[in-house]
Structures are given as C-alpha cells and as structure tokens.
Amino acid sequence: MKTAVYPGSFDPITCGHLDILKRGNEMFDQIKVVLFTNTSKKPLFTIEERMDMIRQSVTDLANIEVDCYEGLVVDYMKKYNHRFLLRGLRSISDFESEFQMASMNKKMYPEVESVFLMTSHEHAYVSSSLIREIIRFNGSVQGMVPEYVHQKLVEKIKGMNR
C-alpha cells in the first residue's frame, strides 16, 4: 500500500491544497494530510479549527486521513514507516525552499522520497497567507477556499472585530 504524507500548516486549507490532494489521490493508495503545528508562523486558526476545516473539505475524497503532529516531518514519517512526502509547487521561490527542505529531509531520513505536483494554473496565486490578508480587509476569497472554510473565515473575522 503506497501512502503519501501531505504536510502543511493549512491555515486555512485552500482550493490549491485540495487540488494537490485530488491529483495525489490518483497516484497513491492513501494520503495522510498532516497538520504540523511547530512552525514559526502565528496561526489565525487553532489546531482544532484547522483539522475540522480539512476534514470537512475532504468528505468527497476516498482514502484521505487527517492527522496532526508537533515535530519534524521526517520523525512523523519514520514513526509510521511512510516514505512518500507530497508537496505542491507554485513558483520559483517555492522551488528554492522546497528543494532545500527535500534535501534536508533526505539527509535526515534517506528512505524519504519527496514528490512534487505543479500547481494547476487556476490556483497558482492562491496561498493561505494571502487568503488571511484579504479576509482581514473584508475582501472576497470566494472560489479560492471551500465554502465551509469561507464561512469559518467570515465568522473568525467577525469575532476578531467584535
């Protein structure tokens, strides 16, 4: 059984993430979407909120598991004996940081195989950080995130402005 780990901060999950997941789903028997909580980024959503949004966004996809982990991606992968690490690429700058990370992961865990899927052009400009920025200033992010996530973003901003 070929399992891929798709790690990220998913703050929040976007249509770009989902596109990578759907396409990855055709290549692997199972994908584990793993929310990593140890980034230096200050998240807008809590771990529970992000996990919930991921779960609600993948209900129509088979063979997707959702998990979270505090620690290194390679440690998670070693723990469950997974070899394939799925990531998406949008730009040259993504390539540079992903190349560095893939090399570092290989050094720490030689069995790891990083697999990259190029973004679909309609999602090339979508990033969680831009979504957060736009919503903060009441811009529309409709079509860039699943409808459930859109509602959660609107609620979150209303709560922050109260």
Handedness of CA 50, 45, 134, 8 (dihedral sign): negative
What residues numbered 130-159 form the site for ligand ADP, per CB under 6 A? none
Terminal CA-CA length for the chain = 49
Q: Is 16 in the site for ligand ADP (CB under 6 A)?
A: yes
Q: Which of 45, 128, 146, 153 binds ligand ADP (CB under 6 A)?
A: 128
The closest residue (CB) to ligand ADP is: 16
82 among known catalytic residues: no
Q: Per the residue annotation, which of 82, 128, 132, 150 is the catalytic one?
A: 128
Q: Is 39 in the site for ligand ADP (CB under 6 A)?
A: yes
Instruction: Give the chain as a 3 state SS string.
Output: CCEEEEEECCCCCCHHHHHHHHHHHCCCCEEEEEEECCCCCCCCCCHHHHHHHHHHHCCCCCCEEEEEECCCHHHHHHHHCCCEEEEEECCHHHHHHHHHHHHHHHHHCCCCEEEEEECCHHHCCCCHHHHHHHHHCCCCCECCECHHHHHHHHHHHHHHHC
Q: Per the residue annotation, which of 55, 78, 83, 90 is the catalytic one?
A: 90
Q: Residue 49 or 94: which CB sits closer to ligand ADP? A: 94
Q: Which stretch binds ligand ADP (CB under 6 A): 4-12, 43-51, 77-85, 151-159?
A: 4-12
CB 10, min distance to ligand ADP, A? 5
What residues numbered 75-114 form the site for ligand ADP, per CB under 6 A? 87-88, 90, 94
Q: Which stretch binds ligand ADP (CB under 6 A): 22-30, 58-66, 119-127, 149-157?
A: 119-127
Q: Residue 126 or 141: which CB sits closer to ligand ADP? A: 126
